[in-house]
Amino acid sequence: MSVSARVPLLSLRQISKRFGAVEALVGVDVDVHAHEVVALVGDNGAGKSTLAKIISGVLAPDSGIIEIGGEEQTIASPSAAHALGIATVFQDLALAGNLDVTSNIFLGRELTDGMLLDDGKMEQVARQILRDLTLRIPSVRTPLSELSAGQRQAVAIARTLIGSPRIVVLDEPTAALSVAQTAEVLTYIERLRDLGLGVILISHNMNDVRAVSDRIEVLRHGRNNGSFDAATASYESILAAITGATTLSESLVRHSAAMR
């Protein structure tokens, strides 16, 4: 196991959450560092979405500690999460179809010049963000409804860069996208990582996950069931952890044996 002296951007320790009789998360640990993409994978019901909602302030954990930049924090609400530097893109994207790209990027966080909206400035910033992420959206004035699914996903991701977050959570960003659109989104994720952000990627698609992630955390029935180095772990070993063919202790033994 590699030793890193860096303090994680986000550290979750022993996070638990139950809904009535259902234990959605049981003692889950996850770390995310700067310049890193951590994938959260697991079957349906493994707890991935619950964990994402806790990180983005939509839900509160029943127990456990959350540290941001080494300091213990409570993420009380989505705006609190945003203030703490966490940006989230959920599957439904939460964008306004009738507005254009610029307006969507600044939705809820519009720039003002005195009392009026500073449209010129917003357009300029929007173009710059699109350039930074090298997004293939030709015009910031296009209404969202005219964009393809992949382009809308791109706008949702571009939106996360408003407010200079340090951590970005992406929930199933490539579900229902074509290969070309997936290629674009994966390239943006690489770029977010190279810009120094910590990215949490939740996805079912093992190709995508293994293509851009540094580390893959497997959840199973609300518990950690393995941590894999994406550059060397085989698809089969990760799948085995997802399905429960291997358990955490087994994969740890295998992992440390491989490291020797």
Partner 1 sequence: MSGSQSSLREANRALIVETVHRHGGLTQVELAGATGLSAATVSTIVKELLAAGVVDTRSTTRSGRRAQMVTLARRVGLAVGIHIGHRHMRIALGDVTHEVVAEQTLPLPHEHRVDTSLDRAALLIADLLERVGSSLDEVVGIGIGVPAPVDAATGMISVRGIMRGWDEVHIAHVLSKRLARPVFVDNDANLGALAESALGASRGYRDSVYVRASYGTGAGIVLGGQLHRGFAGTAGEIGHVQVDPQGDICRCGSRGCLDTVVGAQALLEPLRASHGTMALRDVIQRAMDGDPGCARVIADAGASIGAVVAGLAMAVNPQCVVVGGELAETGEMLLGPLREAIRQRVLLNQIAPLEVLPAELGHRAEVIGAIELVLQSTDFVLRSDEPVRALAEAVGDD
119 part of the interface to partner 1, by CB under 8 A: no
128 part of the interface to partner 1, by CB under 8 A: no
191 part of the interface to partner 1, by CB under 8 A: no
91 part of the interface to partner 1, by CB under 8 A: no
Q: Output the CA torsion sign for 2, 227, 199, 166.
A: negative
Q: Read off the tokens for 124.
A: 């300029």
Strand order in the sheet with 198-202: 86-89, 167-171, 198-202, 36-41, 215-220, 223-229
What is the closest distance, in whole angstroms, from the C-beta atom of residue 109 to partner 1 in the complex? 22
Answer for which of 166, 229, 248, 250 binds partner 1 (CB under 8 A) is 229
Distances (CA, A) of 117 to 3, 6, 167: 48, 40, 28
Reduced 3-state DSSP string for 100-114: EHHHHHCCCCCCEEC
What is the closest distance, in whole angstroms, from the C-beta atom of residue 5 to partner 1 in the complex? 8
Is the CB of residue 51 less than 8 Å from the CB of residue 219? yes
Which string of b and e fits 94-116 if b means at least 16 CB within 10 Å? ebeeeebbbbbbbeeeeeeeeee
What is the closest distance, in whole angstroms, from the C-beta atom of residue 173 to partner 1 in the complex? 13
What is the closest distance, in whole angstroms, from the C-beta atom of residue 157 to partner 1 in the complex? 15
| Residues in region 13-52 near partner 1 by CB under 8 A | 35
Q: What is the DSSP letter of 126?
A: H
186 part of the interface to partner 1, by CB under 8 A: yes
249 part of the interface to partner 1, by CB under 8 A: no
Single-letter amino acid, residue 219: L
Answer for which of 140, 155, 156, 158 binds partner 1 (CB under 8 A) is 140
Q: What is the DSSP letter of 143?
A: B
* Residue whose CB is less far from partner 1, 26 or 183: 183
Q: Which residues bind partner 1 (CB under 8 A)?
A: 2-4, 6, 35, 123, 127, 136, 138-142, 146, 178-180, 182-184, 186-187, 190, 194, 206-207, 209-212, 214-215, 229-232, 234-235
